[in-house]
Amino acid sequence: MLRYIGKRLLMLIPVLLGISLVVLILIDLTPGDPARMMLGAQATQEKVDELRESLGLNDSLPVRYVRFIGNVLRGDLGTSLMTRRPVAEEMLLRFPYTLRLVSISIVISILLGIPVGIYAAKHRNTWKDNVSMFLALFCVSMPSFWFALLLIRFFGVQLRWLPIRGVTTWQGWVLPCVAMALGLIAVIARQMRSDLLEVVRQDYITTARAKGLSEGKVVYRHALKNAMIPVIMVIGGIFGTSLGGSLIAEVIYSIPGLGQYTLTALSNRDYPVIQSSILILSTMFAIVILLVDVVFALVDPRIRSQYVRRREKREEDRRKRGGEPA
C-alpha cells in the first residue's frame, strides 16, 4: 500500500506541472494589463512599461514559468501585484474559511444524503421513493447560487432569523453551508439509492432473507457495507470539487475565503495570486482523491487482493526476465 501511495504521489508531479503551465498560458492569452490597472488609466505608457519591466511581465512565457516553479519549490508563492503582500501569507489567512465552509457542507450532506438514499431504496417504487428522488433531482438541477439567494430572501430578509452576510458568529455559517449542502445531499442520496438497490439483488442478500432476517437487518448488516463503497468515491469527488465551487457561496455571503480571493485576483489580473490559488486548489483536490482511493482499498478487500496479485505477477515476471526459476 505504501508503494502504491508513493507511486500516486509521484504521478501528481507532472499533473501539477501541466496545470500550472496551462494556467500561465491562459493568463497570457487573457486581455488586460495588470500594470495599467495598478497605475490607472491616466498613467503614461512609459510608466506602464517601466512597471511591467520591474514586475517581470515583459519576460517570455518559458522564463516566467520556470521562475514561478522555482519559487514554488522554495516555498515562495510570490507577491500580490495589487496588495503587495506575500501570497502565501494571504492564503494562510483565507484558506481556513474555505476549508470550514466545505467541511461543514460535506458533513451535512453525508448526514442527510445517506439516510435519504437508504429510505428511498427501502421504499422503492412507492410514492415515498418518488417524492425523495424528485426532490433530489430538483436540488441537483438547480444552480447553487439560486439556492443561496433564495435562502437569503426567506430566512434573512423576510424572517430575519439569520444574517445574510459575514461569518463573525456561528449563525453566519448556517446559510452558506446549507446552500452548498443542498445539491450535495441530492448527489449522495441518488448514488446511495442506486448502489443499495443493486446490492440487494445479489445472491447473498437473497440467502440472508431466506434465513428469516428482517429487512432492516438485511439492509444495515449485509447490504449497506458493500453499497457504501461507491458512495465513498462520490463523497471524495464532491469534496474536491467543492473546494473550488465554494467561490459562489463566498461571494454571495461575503466570506473572506480562498474562492473570493481568487475571483478578486481574476478581476485585477493579479497573476501571482491566480497561479498560486489554482495550484493550491489542484493540489488539495489531488490529495483528496488519493485519500479516497486509499480508503476505498481499505474498505473493499477485493481491491487489496487485486493489488497484491498485480504485485506478485510483476515480481514473477521480473524473476523470469532475470533467468531465475518462478
Q: Domains of the chain: which residue ranges?
A: 2-73, 95-316
pLDDT digits (tens, 9 = 90+) for 110-127: 899 888 888 888 888 888
Query: Any idea what DSSP says for residue 78?
Result: -
Q: Collapsing DSSP states into helix, strand and coil, what is residue 107?
A: helix
C-alpha cell at 16: 501539477
pLDDT for the residue numbered 300: 62
In this prediction, residue 221 has a pLDDT band, given cuts at 50, 70 and 90, of confident
Q: CATH says 95-316 is which class?
A: mainly alpha
Q: Which residue has the cell 460535506?
A: 106
pLDDT for the residue numbered 290: 79
C-alpha cell at 303: 481491491
d(CA 100, CA 152): 20
- Tell me the torsion sign for CA atoms 39, 34, 260, 103: negative
pTM above 0.75, yes or no: yes
Determine the residue type at 111.
L
C-alpha cell at 229: 463503497
pLDDT digits (tens, 9 = 90+) for 40-69: 777 777 887 787 777 777 777 888 888 888
Compute, in degrees rounded to 10, the torsion defined by CA atoms 303, 305, 311, 312: -160
Strand partners, 309: none
Q: Which residue has the cell 493568463?
A: 27
The percentage of residues in the chain with a pLDDT greater than 90, rounded to a whole number, is: 0
93: pLDDT strictly greater than 60: yes
Mean pLDDT for the stretch of residues 195-221: 76
Compute, in degrees rounded to 10, the torsion defined by CA atoms 104, 105, 111, 117: -170
